[in-house]
Amino acid sequence: MIKVGIDTNVLLRLLVDDDERQRAAVLKFGAGIGTAYSGFITVVSLIEIDWALRTRYGFARRDSVAAIRRLLRLRGVEIQSAEAVVRSLAGVDDGNGDFADLMIAHLSLHAGCDRIVTLDKKAASKIPVMELLQ
């Protein structure tokens, strides 16, 4: 079975019904996932989705996280670094930081980093493995 990467804008049409024509195209494409082809969602797309849902569509943080979780449950779809995504979403739920910052931390730890440095005071105060550069 072939694997097809899915861009952020396609995923957003699944979550937000703001363009009837594009949504119809996405739903038609989605019908083939898991049968004619498998899908692949990158971490970059998930971070972009979180940002777009919160800034452009006015989603609350918990609603954005819930939307991303729905994408994780799509049949026939592989999520890049799925374990780090799940851990990051749990961290958001626990109030331990922003999804993007938590993804940076979990992906860095997974890559074997001993330290994660930041200039973001809020991230450093909420995510124990992040160290504030001063």
pTM of the full predicted structure? Answer: 0.93
Query: What local confidence, expressed as pLDDT, does residue 124 receive?
Result: 96
Q: What is the three-class DSSP state of 33?
A: strand
- Cα–Cα distance for residue pair 125/97, rounded to 1 Å: 9
**pLDDT tens-digit profile of 26-42?**
999 999 999 999 999 99
Which fold is adopted by the domain 2-132? Rossmann fold (3.40.50)
- How do the domains of the chain map onto residue ranges? 2-132
Query: What local confidence, expressed as pLDDT, does residue 115 receive?
Result: 92
Taking Cα atoms as reference points, which of 45, 38, 58, 27 lies closest to residue 99? 45
Using 50 as the pLDDT threshold, list the residues of the chain that sit under it.
none
Query: What local confidence, expressed as pLDDT, does residue 89 receive?
Result: 98
